[in-house]
């Protein structure tokens, strides 16, 4: 499972011009589900998001989502499973079939909500427009496989330490 985590001041997703989900301060999560991803991967993704200390407190990267009372906008993005390695047209053979992908994407959102995080979502399979005010900017790439975090790659503003 691949997830782009963006620290935001606010984020919203629209379908056909209608806002279907929005949050204030917190995270925008773009979740890509790949063939072979499991419930354990969805749970590990949500758990990492819950524990991620990347909001300013005593230090620039100190507080969690819970510490700041933040929310999550969770949006499915199958293109994260795409590959541009060969040719000029992306290949999506690594993307999970839609029914299973929706189940696992929704599991991430549900687990976050079960832990008390205000959660909004996009509309699975719809053509969506996502708007955000990135805070920092701070963006992380989270890769989970086999129920374990495999890698977290980050980019942060120069004042983030």
Q: How far apart are the first and last CA of the chain?
A: 28
Confidence band, pLDDT 50/70/90 cuts, at residue 158: very low
Question: Does residue 3 carry a catalytic annotation?
Answer: no
pLDDT of residue 150: 85
Tell me the residue range of the domain where 100 lies: 2-160
Mean pLDDT of the chain: 93
Which DSSP state fits 86?
A: S
Residue 8 has pLDDT above 50, yes or no: yes
Given a cut of 60, is residue 137 above it in pLDDT? Answer: yes
Look at residue 63 and give its three-state secondary structure.
strand
CA distances from 65 to 53, 121, 139 (A): 8, 17, 14
Q: Which of 9, 79, 92, 129 is catalytic?
A: 79
pTM for this entry? 0.91
* Cα–Cα dist 157/64, whole Å: 18
Q: Is 78 a catalytic residue?
A: yes
Tell me: the pLDDT tens digits for 67-76? Answer: 999 999 999 9
- Does pLDDT of 134 surpass 50? yes
The candidate with the shortest Cα–Cα distance to 31, out of 8, 65, 63, 2, is 2
pLDDT value for 159: 41
Percent of the chain scored above 70 by pLDDT? Answer: 93
The residue-averaged pLDDT of 7-16 equals 98
**Residue tagged active-site, from 78, 121, 140, 143:** 78
Catalytic residue (choose from 77, 121, 140, 143): 77
Quick check: 152 pLDDT over 90? no
User: Does the active-site annotation cover 79?
Assistant: yes
**Percentage of the chain exceeding pLDDT 90:** 89
87-100 pLDDT, tens digit per residue, is 899 999 999 999 99
Q: What share of the chain is helix, strand, coil (3-state, %, to 5)?
A: 25, 40, 30
* pLDDT at site 74: 98
Interatomic CA distance for residues 64 and 56, integer angstroms: 9
Q: Which CATH number does the domain housing residue 84 bear? A: 3.50.80.10
Give the total number of structural domains in the chain: 1
Task: Compute how many other C-beta atoms are within 10 angstroms of the C-beta atom of residue 36.
Answer: 11
- Condensed to tens digits (0 to 9), the pLDDT of residues 97-119 reads 999 999 999 999 999 999 999 99
Question: Tokens at residue 82, please?
Answer: 């795409």
């Amino acid at each position: 499972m691949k997830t782009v985590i963006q620290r935001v001041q606010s984020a919203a997703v629209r379908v056909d011009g209608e806002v279907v989900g929005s949050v204030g301060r917190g995270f925008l999560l773009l979740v890509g589900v790949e063939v072979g991803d499991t419930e354990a991967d969805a749970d590990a993704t949500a758990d990492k998001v819950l524990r991620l200390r990347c909001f300013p407190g005593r230090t620039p990267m100190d507080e969690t989502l819970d510490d700041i009372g933040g929310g999550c906008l969770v949006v499915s993005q199958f293109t994260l499973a795409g590959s541009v390695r060969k040719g000029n047209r992306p290949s999506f053979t690594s993307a999970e079939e839609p029914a299973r992908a929706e189940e696992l994407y929704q599991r991430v959102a549900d687990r976050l909500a079960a832990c008390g995080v205000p959660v909004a979502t996009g509309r699975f399979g719809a053509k969506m427009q996502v708007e955000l005010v990135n805070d920092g900017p701070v963006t992380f790439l989270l890769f989970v496989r086999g129920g374990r975090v495999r890698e977290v790659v980050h980019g942060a503003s120069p004042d983030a330490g």
